[in-house]
Amino acid sequence: MSGYDILINTPGYFGGKLSCGNCHFLGGLTKGGKDGGISLLGAAATYPRGSAGEAKVIDLQTAVRNCFSKSLNISPPPPQSRQMQSIIAYLHWISHDIPIYSKVPWLGLPPVSLPQNPDAQNGGKVYSTHCAKCHAKDGSGNKATPPLWGQNSYTNASPFNNQNIFSAFVLFNMPKGNAKLSQQQAQNVSSFIMSQSRPFWVGK
């Protein structure tokens, strides 16, 4: 068992339909940017740090647990389990060259100024043209792609349930391997996806 494998094949270990690798491409071994997903290189060097969602300082393990429960919509592994320890060890290993608390410019998503008036109806058309082939017309995904709404998708407490964050991810990464949507299209399709039903996070 390795932390990398858990991130790439999360459902194989814990069930569910979502994988860490759906957002952190190649197990986070990228520097983000276009078609790079959300990087994890150096992330371990930034913890403990403040969490806007919890209004307190959290450690790396808490951040991982939050990702499991809010974004993957599954119960996180226990703190002392082999799975959790493998994930933490992997994140520290890929961050070992990054000085503690140094600024890591590629973490998160690149800043972008997005249109302020998303059109969810138009976003449905963008979804049908550019997204449905992989994520299915009903947003349920398939074995290779994650569900974008419905009970198997991320919860309302996920960072992805935020217009700016999700729009930026779509703009730089979708369609996967050929990110080509305009800023307006990314904003519109994000608004459409966010208008669909998803699980309500009650704390796990």
What are 44-91's pLDDT values in tens digits? 999 998 877 667 899 999 999 999 999 999 999 999 999 999 999 999
The answer to the question of residue 114 being in a domain is no
The answer to the question of residue 17 being in a domain is yes
Residue 204 has pLDDT above 60, yes or no: no
Q: If we measure between CA atoms, which residue out of 4, 35, 2 comes closest to residue 19?
A: 4
The answer to the question of residue 150 being in a domain is yes
For residue 34, the domain's CATH number is: 1.10.760.10
pLDDT of amino acid 1: 64
Residues 73 and 129 in one domain: no
Cα separation, 123 vs 126, whole angstroms: 5
Residues 78 and 143 in one domain: no
Half-sphere exposure of 74 (CA within 13 A, CB side): 18
Residues 9 and 84 in one domain: yes
Cα–Cα distances (Å) from 195 to 79, 148, 190, 204, in that order, read: 34, 11, 9, 24
> Structural domain of residue 152, as residue ranges?
120-194
Residues 9 and 85 in one domain: yes
The answer to the question of residue 131 being in a domain is yes
Q: What is the tens place of the pLDDT at every residue in 80-119?
A: 999 999 999 999 999 999 999 899 999 999 888 887 789 9
Residues 148 and 72 in one domain: no
Of the three residues 37, 58, 93, the one that is the final residue of a domain is 93
Instruction: Kindly state the tokens that stand for 142.
Output: 């398939």
Stated pTM of the model: 0.94
pLDDT of amino acid 111: 83
Q: How many structural domains are present in the chain?
A: 2
Calculate mean pLDDT across residues 155-162. Answer: 95
Q: If we measure between CA atoms, which residue out of 114, 109, 145 comes closest to residue 31?
A: 109
Strands (E), the chain: 49-51, 56-58
